[in-house]
Amino acid sequence: RGVTFLVVGVAVEKELQMSTINSRHDDQVLVPLSTALQLWSDGKSLDLIFASPKENAKSSQVVSEVRNVLAERHRFDPEDEEALFILEFAFFEKMLDVLSLGLNILLGLIGIITLFIGGIGVMNIMFVSVQERTREIGILKAVGAKKRDIRLQFLAESLFITLLGGSIGFLLGSALLGAVNLLPLPPFIPLPQNSIVLSLIVVFVMILTGVISGYIPAKNAAEMEPAKALQYERGETVVGKKIPKPLWSSRTLTGELIGQAFLEIRSSKSRSFLTTFGIFWGIAAVIVLIGFGTGFQGFFEREFGKMGEKTVFVVPGRVQTERGTFRKARRVRLSEKDVEALMAYPVEVEKALPEYDCRFPVVKYGSESRAVHTLGVVPGTLEMRNFKVAKGRFINQGDVEESARVCFFGANIPERLFGNRTRDVTGEYVNLNGLRYLVVGTAQPKGFQMSMNTSYDDDKILIPFTTALKDFSGDKYLSRILVSPVQKERYRMTEQEIRQTLSRLHRFDPENEDALYIWSMLEGTEFLEYIVLGLQIFLGGVGVITLMIGAVGVMNIMFFIVTQRTREVGIRRAVGALKRHIFQQLFTEALTLTFIGGLIGFGIGWGLNAGLSALVEVLRSQNVQLMMLFSPENSLIASMITVFLMVVAGFLAGLTPALRAMRLDIVDSLRYE
């Protein structure tokens, strides 16, 4: 501004900032406060005051004290939140902590349950081991082994298997974390970190899983009576129990196979439950996790849509010119002619609208007065900014042409000025910056907005932009231009045409990004889609891995069943059963187990999503600070993926055991003990 300053220092780069005031710190110049007041202010008025609490935990108390002190000095009610706009960063930190804690709990719980499913697989294997070694247990007891010795032996085996698998998983997980940290990821993506606490938790959970997995099988082994154990013949399935009757009889081979599969499940309910647990939890995890990803995407798309789904904001900047070693900057000033040019020339522009920001003039009605964010707009703003009329009408073309002093209220303004949100204020007059304006309509509430222009749309007053220029500006220049692209998928082409058109009118390089600040809601949506895609791939991958672990458990049990029924297979083959009949029987049993678990998981997943969604809606309705919470959503895509995964899991779980049973030699099977 024509004043020479001495550069005394340069800051260390902060790079990405999630929170900024006006601009990123890396793009700011700092001068002494007294100098700024002398050159650019009336000498005493400040824009901001920063307050730091002595203790971070008392941040909310500091906010209250600031209100009380300034209310006494400036004679206003400390309960009037509109008198002071206080941004408490500690609140956002607390919210972030809550969100992080919730995410850590969710992912940690999924990891622990996934490990627990692996533990169930170990438990099933230990049950098989106990049954296969029944005679060995009888011999050990006959020669003097105590219950404690048998129990410790099987517990040690279970713990060894768990720790071996856990150690491999720990090393693999650490290697994956290290590999991710080496990737050239964008700065806004947080990198995973190893921690001592995480390592201790993993070791504890491994030991706990090993003990739990081996306890019941070890107890069963220890409680065996030596005489019965020595008399046990390998291949026995149900001892001392009545074999259940088939649920139905069928004349078709498929029906008979399904009936036989249900008979096997009923004859060993505990084993079947443990086997299907991994499947139904895996399916439930896939539905819930994909539901969270879908809910995350839907929430942010709705929030961005409140500002207008296709809106592109064009804000004037500055153009630098060089003369020797001296750089001079001139401001780009937008006017109605620029709007007309954008409507006339670029083929990618569907609509261009002017807008003037009046900032926060004082609005009075009777004894009530409020500082309200006011915008000068045109009739097309109704659709562009996604406003909907609740009562009265919106700004029309006649208002714009006549520079009429009329205004349209956001949904919250009637309550702020008149004390009643539902009151019809159409036809009332208010004083706006000392001038009399007629209220012609009010908007439907938009609610919480993730993206806003200085204030929520519900807290804005809209007036004709020509009136705004006359009453608040004194010149013809606009604050911004709102543009709608012909096709939202081609918004980047629209931005290029905007730069090229305005660069010719204002004589600047179209590649100069400082001349125009262009930001699109579609750009935010596109950025969000990448995040959501990565989130859904990650969460879906966790669910799929969990499901595959369950499928491996089913496969292990099917291998045991094949071993247990080797003689039965030999007898069936001897009396005329074909190989494909043996394959179909075992394969059908695996598919039946998988589909039963899958259907249970499907119901649990949908129920959890519906319950969590209802809970979030209740919390959001009771506390405005929880408006950023999003709920999982059930989707057709998740259902289709789930059905596909059920089929794949059943196929993988039954294929190899069924092939092994089909290939058994008849003579060897009949001799098997």
Per-residue pLDDT tens for 581-591? Answer: 888 888 888 88
Is residue 202 located within the same domain as residue 224? yes
Is residue 628 located within the same domain as residue 654? yes
SS3 string of 627-652?
Answer: CCCCCCCCCHHHHHHHHHHHHHHHHH
pLDDT at 92: 67
Is residue 344 located within the same domain as residue 392? yes
- Taking only the tens place, the pLDDT of each residue in 506-539 is 988 888 888 898 888 777 677 777 777 777 777 7
Euclidean distance between CA atoms 236 and 239, whole angstroms: 7
Average pLDDT, the chain: 80
pLDDT at 352: 93
Euclidean distance between CA atoms 345 and 544, whole angstroms: 52
At position 424, the amino acid (one-letter code) is: D
- Please provide residue 390's backbone torsions phi and psi, each rounded to the nearest 5 degrees: -95, -45
pLDDT at 407: 97
Calculate the CA dihedral of residues 336, 339, 345, 347 and round it to 10 degrees: -170
Is residue 304 located within the same domain as residue 376? no
Most confident region among 416-425, 476-485, 616-625 by mean pLDDT: 476-485
Is residue 189 located within the same domain as residue 268? no
392-405 burial by CB neighbour count: b if 16+ within 10 A, else e? bebbeeebbeeebb
With respect to residue 95, please indicate whether it lies within any of the assigned structural domains.
Answer: no
Is residue 302 located within the same domain as residue 403? no
Is residue 261 located within the same domain as residue 194? no
- Taking only the tens place, the pLDDT of each residue in 58-109 is 777 888 889 889 888 888 878 776 677 787 777 667 767 776 777 777 777 7
Is residue 497 located within the same domain as residue 597? no
pTM (predicted TM-score): 0.64
Most confident region among 132-136, 215-219, 224-228 by mean pLDDT: 215-219
**CA distances (Å), origin 171, targets 88, 107, 193, 355:** 42, 19, 14, 58
Dmax over Cα atoms in the chain, in whole Å?
Answer: 109
What's the domain count of the chain?
Answer: 4
Q: Which of 186, 213, 234 is at the close of a domain?
A: 234
Euclidean distance between CA atoms 164 and 175, whole angstroms: 17
What single DSSP character describes residue 429?
Answer: E
Contact between residue 268 and residue 557 where contact means Cβ atoms under 8 Å apart? no
Percent of residues, the chain, with pLDDT higher than 90: 16
With respect to residue 20, please indicate whether it lies within any of the assigned structural domains.
Answer: no
pLDDT at 408: 97
Euclidean distance between CA atoms 33 and 39, whole angstroms: 10
Q: Which of 514, 539, 555 is at the close of a domain?
A: 514
Euclidean distance between CA atoms 181 and 64, whole angstroms: 42
Mean pLDDT in residue range 179-195: 72
Residue 245 has pLDDT above 90, yes or no: no
Is residue 447 located within the same domain as residue 337? yes
User: Measured in whole angstroms, how far is the alpha carbon of residue 484 from the centre of its chain?
Assistant: 28
Is residue 647 located within the same domain as residue 558? yes
Residue 250 has pLDDT above 60, yes or no: no
With respect to residue 239, please indicate whether it lies within any of the assigned structural domains.
Answer: no
Contact between residue 488 and residue 304 where contact means Cβ atoms under 8 Å apart? no
Is residue 554 located within the same domain as residue 430? no
With respect to residue 64, please indicate whether it lies within any of the assigned structural domains.
Answer: yes
Is residue 416 located within the same domain as residue 529? no
Predicted confidence band of residue 240 (pLDDT cuts 50, 70, 90): very low
- Taking only the tens place, the pLDDT of each residue in 8-49 is 999 998 866 655 555 677 878 999 999 988 887 766 778 888
Contact between residue 520 and residue 349 where contact means Cβ atoms under 8 Å apart? no
Contact between residue 404 and residue 491 where contact means Cβ atoms under 8 Å apart? no
With respect to residue 351, please indicate whether it lies within any of the assigned structural domains.
Answer: yes
Expressed as residue numbers, the domain containing 576 is: 247-308+523-673
What is the number of H-type helices and E-type strands within the chain?
A: 20, 14
With respect to residue 105, please indicate whether it lies within any of the assigned structural domains.
Answer: no
With respect to residue 75, please indicate whether it lies within any of the assigned structural domains.
Answer: yes
Predicted confidence band of residue 443 (pLDDT cuts 50, 70, 90): very high
- Please provide residue 406's backbone torsions phi and psi, each rounded to the nearest 5 degrees: -125, 155
Structure token digits, residue 564: 């247990």
Q: In DSSP terms, which residues pair with 23 in a beta bridge?
A: 21
With respect to residue 112, please indicate whether it lies within any of the assigned structural domains.
Answer: no
